[in-house]
């Protein structure tokens, strides 16, 4: 099968950073689905795993954690899908990724593809939808209730992949007032188009901007951009007994004492946790992806794809990685079709 892989961890400007290769097609076992991959998308995690380091793999390493495709074979214990089903998923960071013609994935972290979307449109969603859903509802525990007492949610990095779906989920399923951060006019307009009620600039004081918009301290903060940089701002504005969730690892240390007097809860969100540790509730990702697909098909959510490249090959994947590393992408970059 065709694939895009690496052995050495190099700058994306190097033509050796991602390579077109031919690998053996894997065989499904247990609850595995063998999926023929039709479209993929690229996330910051791809660039973080690929970033330069002094390591060389013995075998080719395939990246990629977003895919849409068709089930072409199943393991003996599969019960949720059958051959021919159209599916979408983010996969597991502990297994070979989706940058290949065929991929094995556990059925418990796979959902049915939204019927109303093209392959490219659907490929933009799985990783970001899982991250946004788990962050909002499992970690921050925002009620799925349009009639709940109104509270305020601050999303730091609203125009990125996760922010783009988090804004929509919060608007469709909760009664929170949504404040999103954006530092450019085009990213601010993108956030507004998806349902953000207010926009503030994450390069400036949160407190002053919230007050200028007549807003109180946020009850919830979902940090999707540079936890280190925003920690002091978050600690200053979070409401006493509020909740902060971040998806961005720390590059250094932060002062947890800044949130002690407010009795603020802090939690991490990593959408790979359930698959990495095969937790007892691993199948929840199957359920939430199906729920997202239903919301899409009901017209309550829209795809977040903003650019599609074709075909799927090393050259186009290097282009996508370079754009993400540039830090100014809005929405998601998708690749489709093998040639």
Question: Over 90: is that where the pLDDT of 147 sits?
Answer: no
Mean pLDDT of 144-150: 88
Percent of the chain with pLDDT over 90: 97
On whether residue 120 sits in a domain, the answer given is yes
Query: How high is the pLDDT of residue 148?
Result: 86
Q: Do the domain assignments include residue 136? A: yes
With tokens 């996969």, the residue in question is 91
Look over the chain and give the mean of its residue pLDDT values, rounded to a whole number: 97
In a domain, 306, yes or no: yes
Residues 172 and 246 in one domain: yes
Residue 182, judged by CB atoms within 10 A of its CB (0-12, 13-18, 19+), counts as: buried
The answer to whether residues 163 and 113 belong to one domain is no
**Mean pLDDT calculated for residue range 207-215:** 96
What is the domain range of residue 15? 2-125+278-336
Please check whether residues 114 and 142 belong to one and the same domain.
no
Q: Residue 288 falls within a domain, yes or no?
A: yes
Handedness of CA 305, 307, 312, 317 (dihedral sign): negative
Q: Tokens in use for 218?
A: 């946020």
Q: Which one of 268, 296, 319 terminates a domain?
A: 268
What is this structure's pTM? 0.97
**How many domains does the chain contain in total?**
2
**pLDDT tens, 304-320?**
999 999 999 999 999 99
Specify whether the backbone of 83 is left (phi greater than 0), alpha (psi in -120 to 50) or beta. beta
- Would the pLDDT of 337 be above 90? yes
Q: 45 with 119, same domain?
A: yes
The CATH number that applies at residue 176 is: 3.40.50.720
Tell me whether residue 273 is in a domain: no
Q: Are residues 89 and 48 in the same domain?
A: yes
Among 249, 268, 287, residue at a domain's last position: 268
Task: In whole angstroms, give the CA distance from residue 285 to residue 86.
Answer: 16
**32 located within any domain:** yes
Say yes or no: 140 and 94 in one domain. no
Same domain, 121 and 137: no
Single out the residue of 212, 232, 226, 234 nearest to residue 153, CA to CA. Answer: 234
With beta carbons less than 8 A apart as the criterion, state whether 238 and 221 touch. Answer: yes
Cβ proximity of 18 and 325 under 8 Å: no
Output the pLDDT for position 53: 95
pLDDT of 247-305, one tens digit each? Answer: 999 999 999 999 999 999 999 999 999 999 999 999 999 999 999 999 999 999 999 99
Domain edge (last residue) among 268, 291, 308:
268
CATH number at residue 85: 3.90.180.10
**Using 50, 70 and 90 to split pLDDT, how confident is the model at 92?**
very high
The yes-or-no verdict on residue 19 having pLDDT over 90 is: yes
- What lies within 8 Å, CB to CB, of 35 at 6+ separation is 67, 69, 70, 71, 72, 87, 89, 102, 103, 104, 105
Question: Given a cut of 90, is residue 30 above it in pLDDT?
Answer: yes
81 shares its domain with 168? no
30 plus 138 within the same structural domain: no
Q: Are 158 and 120 contained in the same domain?
A: no
For residues 227-237, average pLDDT: 97
Residue 149's pLDDT band, with cuts at 50, 70 and 90, is confident
CB atoms within 10 A of CB 65: 25
* Among candidate residues 229, 232, 267, the one with its CA nearest the CA of residue 247: 267
Do 242 and 307 lie in one domain? The reply is no
285, 109 Cβ separation under 8 angstroms: yes
Provide the Cα torsion 256, 261, 263, 264; round to 10°.
-50
Q: Are residues 139 and 259 in the same domain?
A: yes
Q: Is pLDDT larger for residue 145 or for residue 17?
A: 17
Q: What is the mean pLDDT of residues 323-329?
A: 94
Q: Is the pLDDT of residue 31 over 90?
A: yes
Share of the chain above pLDDT 70, in %: 100
Q: Classify residue 74: in a domain, yes or no.
A: yes
């Amino acid at each position: 099968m065709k694939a895009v892989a690496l052995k050495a961890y190099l700058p994306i400007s190097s033509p050796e950073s991602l390579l077109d290769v031919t690998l053996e097609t894997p065989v499904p076992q247990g609850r595995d689905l063998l999926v023929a991959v039709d479209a993929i998308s690229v996330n910051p995690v791809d660039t973080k795993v690929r970033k330069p380091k002094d390591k060389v793999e013995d075998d080719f390493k395939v990246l990629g954690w977003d895919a849409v495709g068709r089930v072409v074979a199943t393991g003996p214990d599969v019960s949720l899908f059958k051959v021919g089903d159209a599916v979408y998923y983010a996969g597991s960071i502990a297994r070979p990724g989706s940058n290949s013609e065929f991929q094995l994935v556990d059925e418990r972290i796979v959902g049915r593809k939204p019927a109303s979307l093209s392959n490219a449109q659907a490929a933009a969603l799985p990783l970001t939808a899982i991250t946004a859903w788990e962050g909002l509802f499992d970690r921050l525990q925002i009620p799925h209730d349009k009639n709940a007492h109104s509270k305020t949610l601050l999303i730091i990095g609203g125009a990125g992949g996760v922010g783009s779906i988090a804004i929509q989920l919060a608007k469709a399923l909760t009664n929170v007032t949504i404040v999103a951060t954006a530092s450019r006019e085009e990213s601010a307009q993108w956030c507004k188009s998806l349902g953000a009620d207010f926009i503030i600039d994450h390069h400036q004081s949160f407190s002053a901007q919230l007050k200028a918009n007549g807003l109180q301290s946020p009850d919830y903060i979902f940090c999707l951009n540079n936890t280190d940089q925003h920690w002091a701002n978050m600690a200053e504005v979070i409401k006493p007994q509020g909740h902060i969730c971040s998806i961005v690892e720390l590059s250094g240390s932060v002062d947890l004492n800044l949130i002690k007097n407010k009795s603020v809860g802090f939690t991490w969100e990593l959408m790979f946790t359930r698959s990495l540790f095969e937790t007892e509730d691993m199948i929840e990702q199957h359920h939430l992806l199906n729920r997202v697909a239903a919301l899409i098909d009901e017209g309550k959510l829209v795809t977040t794809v903003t650019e599609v490249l074709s075909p799927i090959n090393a050259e186009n994947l290097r282009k996508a990685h370079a754009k993400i590393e540039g830090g100014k992408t809005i929405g998601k970059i998708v690749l489709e079709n093998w040639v």
